[in-house]
Structure formats: C-alpha cells, structure tokens
Structure 1
C-alpha cells in the first residue's frame, strides 16, 4: 500500500507512517510538499478542513498512491475560553475512489500573547510560539503542544490521534457504506 502525505513536516509524515503501519502493516509513505490552498494560519473550521482536504487530494493526484492524507492545524472560535480560540488538527484521507474520511485531535489554547500576534501581526501560531520559546523549528519537532504540556504530548502524537480518527470509517467499512 502506498500512502501520500500532503506535507514534508516530519511530525505529520511520521504520524501518518506510524498509524498506517500499525493498522495495515508495511506501507510506503511518500511525503509530498503541496499547497494547502488556505492561509498559512487557517482560522475557522471550514478553512482548516479545506486545507486538510486540499493537501490529501493533491498528494494523491501527484503520486497515484492508494491514499492521500492531509493534516492541517487551525484556530477556531470557542466562547468562554481564555483567548476565544483553540487549536485543532484536522486530518482528511482520500482514496482512489474519491471518498474522503475525516478526523481531528484534541483542541488546546495557545497563550494569549501568541493569539494576539496572530490577529494583530498576521503571524502563524507556529512562528509566534517558536519565537516565544526561542526555537524556530518548533513546529517541525515537538510542536507548541510539546512545550505547553511539558513534553507529555508532542505534535507527532497529536497528529496521530487525528489520523487514527480519520481512519475510523475505513476500519469499519460495513457501518459507513465503504465496503
């Protein structure tokens, strides 16, 4: 089985590789740099989901793989939170028949100063968070979630949850009409 990932970010690629291997055994995972078609910092569920779908579809088209996988993180409005926003990782998995399944991981809040920079300076959360902790490669490693949880949950593991949730209908095709 060949799985194309619409990203070259190691935290996304390794998450896909680990989940697909755990479920399907030996798989070939092909990282593919593609344009998400949304801003670098997606805001809102629609923009975030669109980015994940675009990544998955473009990766599939460019490689002819069995599956295209797109993972996109974005901010969405949540009333009563400290900042008004939470971050969520969405995953879209597209197969050769054009069927798309979705999942997402847990949501969390960034520090208020990071959110302020996103909306006042048009800075991506990964950049703002990386500057806050003096690590410009943060989003390609443990991610903001790794810093914020003191290493208890790193970005790859957060992405793995989203990928696994997107595979739920594929693990149960008879219940989702995918058989």
Structure 2
C-alpha cells in the first residue's frame, strides 16, 4: 500500500505510520487551500480534504491522507479541533473528526485576532517545534494526549471506514 501524507509535520506523519505500519509512506508539502489557522469545523475539514486529494495525485496508484488542525467555536467558547481525510485510488473519500477540548481565553484572544495557534503556543511555552510533538492538546491535557495521539485517532477512523467499505463489497 502506497500512502502520501499531505504534510511534513512529524506528529501527523508518525500518526499515519502508527495506523499503517506496513505501508510505504511518503510525505509531501501540499496546500490546504484554507487559512493557515482554520477557524471552523467546515474550514478545517476542507483543509484535510484538499490535502488528501492533492496527496493522492502524488501517490503511485495509492492513497492520500490529509490531516488538519484548527479551532471551532460554540457560543463564546473556542475549541481545538482536528479533521482527517483519506482519498483512495478508486476515487473514494473518507472523512473523520477527532478530539475537541476548550482552549483557555488567553490563547483564544490572539487566535481570534488572526494569530496561528502554533505560533501562540510556541511563544506561550517557549517550545520551538511544539506543533511537531505534543501540540496544544499535549499542553492542555498535561501530556495525557499528544498531537500524534490526536491524529492517530482520526487516522484510525479513516482506516476503519475504508476497510469497512472495501470488505462490504
């Protein structure tokens, strides 16, 4: 199985390796065609879909996976969210969303004013490559859940959907 992950982000790539340990996995820098900081479920989901489709075009008769992190708001509360998409060689598309946790107001204010969560977390924690490792989810869950864990969950949901549809034919 050939898979192209639409990102060089280490947490995302490791998540795909965890779910597909026997696959030939490559990374590619593909554009999400959404804002650098997606601010809704629909925008975050669309970014994942765009990455999956672009990645599939690079894959040699393989699969494309797009994973996107973003935020979404319910009332005045801003939540961390993540979405994934899997594009198959036979033009099927599977999507899934994962964990959500509320973000502290001192983090949400700068996001709503246009800053990216990754940059805010870098300034706040003084960890330069936080988005490649624990991410905001790791900080705000006291390392109980890492960014890799969060994307592994979504990738597992994608793999399960694809397997179900493949085996139910």
- TM bucket by the smaller chain? over 0.9
Counterpart-to-counterpart distance in 2, 1:53 and 1:65: 18
Aligned to 1:92: 85
Decide which of 133, 138, 146 is 1:146's aligned counterpart: 138
Ranges of 4+ aligned residues in structure 1 off by more than 3 Å: none
Aligned length: 169
RMSD: 1.5
Aligned to 2:10: 10
Counterpart-to-counterpart distance in 2, 1:88 and 1:166: 16
Cα 1:142/1:65, change in 2 over 3 Å: farther
Aligned to 1:163: 155
Counterpart-to-counterpart distance in 2, 1:164 and 1:99: 17
Alpha-carbon contact 1:102-1:166 (below 8 Å) kept = yes
Decide which of 30, 50, 63 is 1:34's aligned counterpart: 30
Q: CA deviation at 1:64?
A: 2.6
Q: CA deviation at 1:15?
A: 0.1
User: Which secondary structure state, in structure 1, belongs to the residue aligned with residue 101 of structure 2?
Assistant: coil
Aligned to 1:20: 20
Q: CA deviation at 1:136?
A: 2.2
Q: Which 5+ residue runs of structure 1 have no aligned equivalent?
A: none
Could you list the per-position Cα deviations for residues 52-96 of structure 1 after superposition, in whole angstroms to 9, with x for gaps in the alignment?
0111111111233411000001111223xxx52111110100001
State the TM-score, normalized to the length of structure 1.
0.89
Alpha-carbon contact 1:43-1:76 (below 8 Å) kept = yes
State the TM-score, normalized to the length of structure 2.
0.94
Q: CA deviation at 1:157?
A: 0.6
Could you list the per-position Cα deviations for residues 116-175 of structure 1 after superposition, in whole angstroms to 9, with x for gaps in the alignment?
00112x110111112111112111111111111111111101100011112222221268
